[in-house]
A = this chain, B = another copy of it.
Amino acid sequence: MSLLDQTLTLVRVDSVSGREGEIAAVVFEKLQSAAHLDVERIGDNVVASTRGHHAHRVIVAGHLDTVPGDASAGAIIGDRVVGLGACDMKGSVAIMLDEAVRDVARSLEVTWIFYAREEVARSQSGLLELAELRPELLAADAAILAEPTGGSVEAGCQGTLRIVVTMKGARAHTARPYTGRNAIHRIGGLISRVASYQPRTAVIDGVTFTEQLQVVRVDGGIANNVVPDVASVTLNHRIAPDRGLDEAAGAVKDFIGDLLEVDDAFEIGDYAPPAAPSLANPFIARLVEVSGVPARAKVGWTDVATFAERDIPAANYGAGDPLLAHRSDEFVTLGELEEFARVLRKLLQ
A interface residues (Cβ-Cβ under 8 A, vs B): 67-68, 119-121, 158, 160, 162, 171-177, 179, 182, 184-192, 194-195, 212, 214-228, 231, 233-234, 236, 238, 269-270, 299-301, 322-323, 325-328
The 10 closest A-B pairs by CB, nearest first: A188-B191, A217-B221, A175-B300, A185-B195, A188-B192, A174-B236, A184-B215, A174-B214, A218-B220, A175-B299
Output the nearest chain B residue to A188 by Cβ-Cβ distance: B191
Copies of this protein in the complex? 2
Partner of A182, one of B162, B215, B327: B215
Let me know if A216 and B222 touch, CB within 8 A. yes
Let me know if B216 and A218 touch, CB within 8 A. no
Question: Within the assembled complex, what's the spacing in Å between the Cα atoms of A219 and B226?
Answer: 16
Output the nearest chain B residue to A175 by Cβ-Cβ distance: B300
Min CB gap A174→B, angstroms: 4
Question: Within the assembled complex, what's the spacing in Å between the Cα atoms of A216 and B177?
Answer: 11
Partner of A191, one of B187, B270, B301: B187
Contacts of A182 in B (CB 8 A): 195, 214-215
Partner of A173, one of B171, B192, B233, B300: B300
Let me know if A184 and B216 touch, CB within 8 A. yes
Min CB gap A87→B, angstroms: 11
Let me know if A238 and B174 touch, CB within 8 A. yes
Let me know if A176 and B217 touch, CB within 8 A. no
Min CB gap A124→B, angstroms: 12
Output the nearest chain B residue to A324 by Cβ-Cβ distance: B179
Contacts of A179 in B (CB 8 A): 323
Min CB gap A190→B, angstroms: 8
Question: Within the assembled complex, what's the spacing in Å between the Cα atoms of A238 and B177?
Answer: 11
Question: Within the assembled complex, what's the spacing in Å between the Cα atoms of A68 and B301?
Answer: 43
Let me know if B158 and A175 touch, CB within 8 A. yes
> What would be 28 A-B contacts, judged by CB atoms less than 8 Å apart?
A68-B223, A120-B223, A160-B175, A162-B224, A172-B326, A174-B238, A175-B212, A175-B299, A176-B299, A176-B300, A176-B323, A179-B323, A182-B195, A184-B217, A186-B195, A187-B188, A187-B191, A187-B218, A188-B190, A189-B191, A215-B220, A216-B222, A217-B220, A217-B228, A218-B220, A221-B234, A224-B234, A224-B270
